[in-house]
Structure 1
Amino acid sequence: MSAPQTQRVFPCTNCGANLEFAPGTEALRCPYCGSEQHIRIAADRAVREHSWDEFVRLPRKPIATLAAHVFTCPGCGAVTESDAISDRCQFCGAPVVADVDSGQMVVPEAVLPFTVDRAGVRDALQVWVKSRWFAPNQLKKVTTAETVRSTYLPHWTYDASTHSSYTGERGEYYYETEYYTVRDDNGNERTEERQVRRTQWWPASGSVSRDFDDLLVRGTGKVPPERLDALEPWPLTDARPYDQNFLAGHQTLRYDVEPEQGMDVARARMASTIEQDCRRDIGGDEQRVHSVNTSYSRVMFKLMLLPVWICAYLYAGKTYQVLINGRTAEVAGDRPFSWVKIFFAVLAGVLLVAAVVAFFVLRR
């Protein structure tokens, strides 16, 4: 086991227990005596973004090669290892937060503190369960989660100013008259006409510019991406400068997606948006984009922590995972289906279509 690393502890000045960050406040609160300690952030401290060009020139170890954080519990003295930045002692539950300013990792610059507390999680889960279509009726009796864990998840944000030159084609619609022969039930023929749409293509080229701000990319692969994406949007403008106090009593995952990997994802998303800009610039009724050459400037990035409640509930002997946005209470998760309800819904749809068809047949 590696040597213990620097860590923060949060003792209560009133009773000596461990303080925890209280969601929806700017304070640490003692879970035993209720004493609070206000979180003070220096007025001149702000969320900073870092130059990407300067960052890529720095020597740095990949996160995969770094040892786990070693925590010494302030409550019971147990020594444990964890990949998390903040966690609870596995033996007594005391909160511990690692010092990440070690030079080997990218340090978080911002944290979006929890505002949804455990009571809010319970309310959000109940509303979500009751709103699930085609769910078994018994699911509505699930009012609490079997396990609930407040977790800060790492995310990268990227900024860039882009200028793109493109080549392509602009398609414009025009119509031609087309003649065709129709034969009636008696075998008589007649000529009719119709308008047929055609497309005339013209070469096009030009340039577009766009600024990207706080393009968000997941910093961990430990949470299902489709569930995490469903929690958006995030109120990123409410983020606070990183402070260990916001992490006390909550788990914080260390990023396992390297910033370079995040940049690849960000550039792919930028490219998709830039192509849409090119199509709008080409105009016309249809567009073809043949090539796009983009230059990037003022590329900045930062690491920030977003709050997620990771819950699991038990139904019919099976465990289902649910994620809840720690700011907006948006819920995304797994749920069981009632195949009986689905069968009767499909049957009702078939009967409705049959009734409509029969109605028009009888009218004729």
Structure 2
Amino acid sequence: MTDPRFQQAGVAATTYPCGGCGARLEFAPGTTALQCPYCGFRQEITAGDRQIREIPFGELANLARKPVGSIGKYVFACQRCSARTETNETASLCQFCGAPLVIDPAASGQLVPEGVLPFAIDHAAVSTHLKKWTSSRRFAPNALKKVTTAETTKSTYLPHWTYDSQTESAYTGQRGEYYYVTETYYDNGQRKTRRVRRTRWYPARGRVARAFDDVLVPASTQLPIEQIDKLAPWPLPEAAPYQQQYLAGHFALRYDVEPEAGFEEAKRRMAPVIENDCEHDIGGDTQRVHSVDTRHHNVSFKLMLLPVWVASYVYQGRNWQILVNGRTGEVHGERPWSKVKIAIAVVVALIVIAAIVYFVATGGHHSR
């Protein structure tokens, strides 16, 4: 029997009519309610009986899976104007009448998110954060500081996998211990001595263990991974069990990184932490780690939707993209550089260096 979480995409979508004027409600950032953008009517999101759960990684092998490469675009049917649209986003707006649509998760062809971290800052707050960001960019063109609003700004939920794992690692390496010797050398014909630090190396091996909790891996490649990672940390304990209402009026990208591939990336993210544990276990004054063999136990995962404002602005005919953490307001993105300002800074630095060299060469004073 096919797991309903992996049924093929359907056409059913969910909208939320306003109880005041009949328009469509949207999730209001910073609240726990849906709100009408026209009359202000609010409807609280009632807590359901769902809980955020960790899925044992071993269950993946027993779940019916969609064939690799057969994921098609999502199809929406607007309940207001009956238009049919296709998109790669799991939440969208009707391009004809503007009604917010949310695809039925049971018909998405993908895993249903376990949790969602709702937006906490709205469009106005994004403009404020953007203004602070542009005004603080060193060596940016002066015209950039005039950019206080983005040309396009979309509130978008980005899918992330989280992984828990109990790890045991066996390592081999070396422990270095410092010692000092006195060395003789000659300077301008004069015999001098100096104290030199050296290292004795001893073989080392051992085992370390660490429990990893909620290692985050972006599950979409539609946006630069390095920029998404810079938006961390995320207040994951504040996440709510997934409900469609949180997506109403907002965008949500589908994942294109499968959980198995995400776990391989999670392992790469765990590796530096484990190596640091090995170095700490080796002890001494300095360490070398030659090999690490890590075993993972009790691995679990879940799909989370994290809020990001995806903004873009135009400068000198080019689109520049900025990402804003929808909870904390942290801003990261692309920015232009002023060649003139950089050139001036380089010239000033060279003048300062030349002045210091001259000062040292002349002994700090001029003979009369």
TM-score (norm 2): 0.92
SS at structure 2 position matched to 1:159 = strand
What is the rounded CA distance, in whole Å, between the counterparts of 1:257 and 1:116 in structure 2?
A: 27
What is the rounded CA distance, in whole Å, between the counterparts of 2:142 and 2:191 in structure 1?
A: 61
Shift of 1:23: 0.4
Q: Are the counterparts in 2 of residues 312 and 319 from structure 1 also a CA contact under 8 Å?
A: yes
Judged with a 3 Å threshold, the aligned counterparts in structure 2 of structure 1 residues 303 and 110 are, in CA distance, closer, same or farther, namely: same
Residues 171-213 of structure 1: CA deviation (Å, up to 9, x unaligned): 11112222334553xxxxx543322322211111211110100
Shift of 1:103: 8.3
CA RMSD of superposed structures (Å): 1.7
Residues 74-114 of structure 1: CA deviation (Å, up to 9, x unaligned): 22211111221110011111111111224842110010100
Residues 154-174 of structure 1: CA deviation (Å, up to 9, x unaligned): 000000111112222111111
SS at structure 1 position matched to 2:300 = strand
Residues 242-278 of structure 1: CA deviation (Å, up to 9, x unaligned): 0100000001110001111100000112222111100
SS at structure 1 position matched to 2:351 = helix
| 1:22 counterpart residue number | 28
- Give the counterpart of 2:69 among 61, 64, 69: 64
TM-score (norm 1): 0.93
- Give the counterpart of 1:141 among 138, 146, 152: 146
What is the rounded CA distance, in whole Å, between the counterparts of 1:360 and 1:195 in structure 2?
A: 26
| 1:45 counterpart residue number | 50
What is the rounded CA distance, in whole Å, between the counterparts of 2:311 and 2:143 in structure 1?
A: 19
What is the rounded CA distance, in whole Å, between the counterparts of 1:178 and 1:71 in structure 2?
A: 78
The answer on 1:94 being equivalent to 2:99 is yes
| 1:348 counterpart residue number | 348
Shift of 1:294: 1.9
Q: Are the counterparts in 1 of residues 94 and 101 from structure 2 also a CA contact under 8 Å?
A: yes
Judged with a 3 Å threshold, the aligned counterparts in structure 2 of structure 1 residues 300 and 84 are, in CA distance, closer, same or farther, namely: same
Shift of 1:58: 2.3
Runs of 4+ with deviation above 6 angstroms: none
What is the rounded CA distance, in whole Å, between the counterparts of 1:219 and 1:97 in structure 2?
A: 19
| 1:331 counterpart residue number | 331
Shift of 1:280: 0.7
What is the rounded CA distance, in whole Å, between the counterparts of 1:102 and 1:78 in structure 2?
A: 18
What is the rounded CA distance, in whole Å, between the counterparts of 1:63 and 1:47 in structure 2?
A: 27
- Give the counterpart of 1:6 among 12, 15, 36: 12
The answer on 1:159 being equivalent to 2:164 is yes
| 1:231 counterpart residue number | 231
Between 1:49-58 and 1:86-95, the stretch displaced more is 49-58
| 2:287 counterpart residue number | 287
Q: Are the counterparts in 1 of residues 12 and 77 from structure 2 also a CA contact under 8 Å?
A: no
**Structure 1, gaps ≥5 residues long:** 185-189
Shift of 1:291: 2.4
Judged with a 3 Å threshold, the aligned counterparts in structure 2 of structure 1 residues 138 and 83 are, in CA distance, closer, same or farther, namely: closer
What is the rounded CA distance, in whole Å, between the counterparts of 2:188 and 2:318 in structure 1?
A: 64
| 1:132 counterpart residue number | 137
SS at structure 1 position matched to 2:106 = coil
- Give the counterpart of 2:38 among 32, 39, 43: 32
SS at structure 2 position matched to 1:70 = strand
Judged with a 3 Å threshold, the aligned counterparts in structure 2 of structure 1 residues 354 and 26 are, in CA distance, closer, same or farther, namely: same
Q: Are the counterparts in 2 of residues 155 and 303 from structure 1 also a CA contact under 8 Å?
A: yes
Q: Are the counterparts in 2 of residues 114 and 307 from structure 1 also a CA contact under 8 Å?
A: yes
Residues 98-136 of structure 1: CA deviation (Å, up to 9, x unaligned): 112248421100101001101001111111111111112
SS at structure 2 position matched to 1:122 = helix
- The one-letter amino acid of 2:123's match is R
Q: Are the counterparts in 2 of residues 179 and 191 from structure 1 also a CA contact under 8 Å?
A: yes
Question: Would you say how many aligned residue pairs link Structure 1 and Structure 2?
Answer: 357
What is the rounded CA distance, in whole Å, between the counterparts of 1:261 and 1:229 in structure 2?
A: 17
Matches within 5 A, 1:151-230: 151-184=156-189, 190-230=190-230
| 1:187 counterpart residue number | none
**Identical-pair percentage:** 54
Shift of 1:67: 2.5
Between 1:194-203 and 1:328-337, the stretch displaced more is 194-203
**Structure 2, gaps ≥5 residues long:** 1-7
Q: Are the counterparts in 2 of residues 168 and 290 from structure 1 also a CA contact under 8 Å?
A: yes
Shift of 1:150: 0.6
- The one-letter amino acid of 1:289's match is V
Between 1:331-340 and 1:174-183, the stretch displaced more is 174-183
SS at structure 2 position matched to 1:299 = strand
Shift of 1:26: 0.4
| 1:305 counterpart residue number | 305
| 2:127 counterpart residue number | 122
SS at structure 2 position matched to 1:324 = strand
